[in-house]
Amino acid sequence: MPKLLLATLLLVPMLGMGQEVRLPSEVSAVPGQWIVVAPEIVSGGKAKFRLDAGLEEVRLDILFPPDVAIQARGKVLSASKPGLYKVECWNAKGDVPSDIATCWVHVLGTPPEVDPAPTPKPKPDVVTPPPVVAGPRTVLIVRESATDSPSDARMFASLQAGQAHQYLKSKGHSAYVLDDDDPLGAKWVAALGIALPAAAILDDKGVVVFKFSLANGATADELLAVLKSKGG
């Protein structure tokens, strides 16, 4: 990521009243990609952060001059493994602390094997995201068909006729693969507002539950992993 863009994302002025921090509710990335988590609002003292294990912080003090790095209000992170990670942020004004703001970092890809060893239960005061309501889902892919690669061909065939298709059918889901030149495809490109090839998970009312750009070489299994994490 260019340094100038990083600096813009991290140092942009933020306004607010009282003690408050606000984070984007969710960001997504692929393993190894830099992820910027910057508060949208900071009112009060300097924001403090807590990161889930698995998220690594990129040291800004070795990228920028010290007087610039110290002004950063957000974090630049990366994760080497797919999964759902939590970033918490808070501050205080005087002696009054703010509420804890939470941002979920969704690192796309096939989730790692679950460790059979028992894991500690979350602390009772940890903020959890709203429960995902399971139900029929529509998987929508919009892409420029001129960029279809052999791995895309395998993904589309699996979703529409192969193993992934069997899973979708068994759960009452459906999948559509559109071209961006198609009138409806063009509408979806505008509605999703993310880089192509784009994928979206829709609920049974047609509401977008989650959207993300497909990585090069993405597989049907990876797509299903995201679908399953979003109630599918």
Partner 1 sequence: MNQLTDQQIAQYLDVDFQTASVQAGRMAGMNPRIEAAGAAGIPLYEDEVNLIDEKEWPAIIAEHEKNGWPQRQLITYVHDQNGEPSCVTNAFCGAHEIKQAVTYGVENVTLLSPISGYKFVGSPRSGSSLTANMKRFLEIGVLPLDTPENKAKFKHTHPHNGYSKSLPSGFEETASLFRNAEWLDINGWKPFVSALLSGHPVIYARSGHCILAVSLQHKNGVYILDYLNSWGPWGNPVNDKFNAGLGHDSERVAKSACYGSMALRTVKLITPPAIAL
Closer CB to partner 1, residue 70 or residue 153? 153
Between 41 and 194, whose beta carbon lies closer to partner 1? 194
Which residues of the chain form contacts with partner 1 (CB under 8 A)?
138, 140, 145-146, 148-154, 156-162, 165, 168-169, 174-179, 181-185, 187-188, 191, 202, 206
Distance CA 2, CA 7 (A): 9
Report, in Å, the least distance between residue 195 CB and partner 1: 18
d(CA 175, CA 140): 6
Closest CA to 76 of 33, 46, 43: 33
SS3 200: strand
Which residue number, 61 or 181, has a Cβ lying nearer to partner 1?
Answer: 181
To partner 1, the closest distance from the beta carbon of 154 in angstroms equals: 5
Residue 112 Cβ vs partner 1, minimum distance, rounded to whole Å: 22
- Is 120 or 150 the residue whose CB approaches partner 1 more closely? 150
Cβ partners under 8 Å of residue 122, min gap 6? 128
Place of tokens 């493994």: 81
Smallest gap, in angstroms, from Cβ of residue 30 to partner 1? 20
Q: How far apart are CA 167 and CA 158, in angstroms?
A: 10
Instruction: Work out how close the CB of 194 gets to partner 1 at its nearest, in angstroms, rounded to a whole number.
Output: 16
CA distance linking residue 185 with residue 61, whole number of Å:
43
Q: Which residues contact 45 (CB under 8 A, 6 or more apart)?
A: 19, 91, 92, 93
CB nearer to partner 1: give 82 or 152: 152
Closest approach, Cβ 182 to partner 1, in A, equals 5
Q: Closer to partner 1 by CB, 102 or 174: give it.
A: 174
Q: Where are the beta strands (DSSP E) in the chain?
A: 20-22, 26-29, 35-37, 41-43, 48-51, 55-57, 75-79, 83-90, 92-93, 96-97, 101-107, 138-143, 174-179, 198-202, 208-213
From the list 103, 6, 1, the residue with the least C-alpha distance to 47 is 103
CB of 205 to partner 1, least distance (A): 10
In terms of CB distance, is 15 or 146 closer to partner 1? 146
